[in-house]
Amino acid sequence: MKLTSVVQTFESIFDEMGIDVSHEASLYYVASICHTPASFTEIYRESRRIRKTISERALRNGRNALLDTGLLAQVLFVHGPDTRFGTEPYLPVNPMIVVGVYTEYLKDVYSDEDFSIRNRDVGGVYRIWLENFGRYGIGIERGSITLYHGDTWVMYNLLGIMGDISETTTISMMLGGIGIFKDAYKEYYSHIIQQGSKIRAIIDRNDEAEDLKRLKMEYGDKIEVKYIPREHYGTCRQILFDHDWVLDGKELLLSDRSGPSCISTIYLREADSTALLRNNFEDIWKNHSPR
C-alpha cells in the first residue's frame, strides 16, 4: 500500500468536490485514519513523511476544510473521560464510501490499471479505518458519543452502515431533504431494499416532487416519504436503525452555511434511549399523511 498514491487519489476527489486546499486536506484525511488516537503534532509528523514541505498551518487548513465539507466530524467530550481519542478528536468518513461515490469520476481521471491499483491501496486504508473506528465509524461499540458535524458526514456514515446491513430492517430518517436518494448513492440503499428492508423518511422541503415521484415508481412502498413542515418538529434531526444505532441531532440555525450545521448524539446499543427516540419519531410519523 502506497500512502502517496492514496493521498493523490483523495486529492483528486477533494479537488472535484471544490476543496481549495485539496492536497492538504487529503494529507490530513489519510494521516488521521492511519494514526489514531493521536495529537495534531503526531499527525503533522506523519504527514511530513509523505510531503516534507507541508506546514502546520497548511495542515490545519486542510483539517478545517474537511470539517467544513462534512468529511470529518468533531467529537464533543460530554460523556466522560474514557472515550478513546487523542487530542485530535475527529472522525473521518469511511474512505471506501467516498471512493465509491466518486468511482466514475476517478475512472475518467486514471487508466483502468491505475484505478485498480489505487482502489486496492484505498482498500488497505479502509481496513485501517475499520480497525480504528469500527463498523459504525464512531470509535465505540456501545454507548453514546456527541458530535459537531455537517450533513455530508451523516450521509456518508449512513451509506456505510447501509452497505454493511445483511438482515431485514427498517430505517427511519428525519432529514431536511432527500439528498440521500441521489443516483450517486443508489447502490447503497438499493442493496438493503433488495433484501426486503424499508426506508421511511420525513423531510421538511416541498420542492422535490419529481424526485419523490421517481422513488415511488421505482421502489413502491419500500421507500415512504412524508413532507412535514419544519414548524411541526423544529430543527430536530433523527435517524434510527432498529435497536442498534440511533442519531438524535439538532440543526444549528446559522447565517453562514459553509461549515458544520448540526450537533448530534449517536446512541449505539442503548435500548432505553432508542425506545424513547423511536416513540418520538412514531408520534410525528403517524400524525401526517404520506407525500
- Strand ordering across the sheet containing 223-227: 90-92, 72-76, 143-149, 262-268, 245-251, 236-241, 170-174, 198-203, 223-227
Q: Is 261 or 30 the better-scoring residue by pLDDT? A: 30
The tally of CA atoms less than 13 A away on the side-chain side of residue 112 is 0
- At residue 113, the 3 state secondary structure works out as helix
Q: What's the mean pLDDT in 24-33?
A: 97
Report in angstroms the alpha-carbon separations of 257 from 33, 60, 150, 248, 252.
26, 20, 10, 20, 9
Which of residues 168 and 87 earns the better pLDDT score?
168
Q: What is the mean pLDDT of the chain?
A: 89
Q: Is the pLDDT of residue 242 over 80?
A: no
pLDDT at 291 over 60: no
Please tell me the number of Cα atoms within 13 Å of 100 on its side-chain side: 18
Question: What's the pLDDT score for residue 259?
Answer: 67
Looking up cell 413502491, which residue turns up? 220
Give yes or no for residue 1 having a pLDDT over 80.
no
The pLDDT tens digits for 63-107 are 999 999 999 999 998 765 555 556 789 999 999 999 999 999 999
Q: Are 43 and 129 in contact (CB under 8 A)?
A: no
pLDDT of residue 72: 97
Residue 191 pLDDT exceeds 80: yes
Instruction: Return the pLDDT at 84.
Output: 59
Confidence class for position 181, pLDDT limits 50, 70, 90: confident
Q: What is the pLDDT of residue 90?
A: 95
Rounded average pLDDT over 133-149: 92
pLDDT bucket at 60, cuts 50 / 70 / 90? very high
State the span(s) of the chain assigned CATH 3.30.870.10: 143-286
pLDDT band at 33 (very low <50, low <70, confident <90, very high): very high
Q: Say whether pLDDT at 264 is over 60.
A: yes
Looking up cell 455530508, which residue turns up? 152
Looking at domain 143-286, which CATH architecture does it have? 2-Layer Sandwich (3.30)
Mean per-residue pLDDT, 115-127: 96
Percent of the chain surpassing pLDDT 90: 59
The 10s digit of each residue's pLDDT in 206-225 is 777 778 888 888 999 999 98
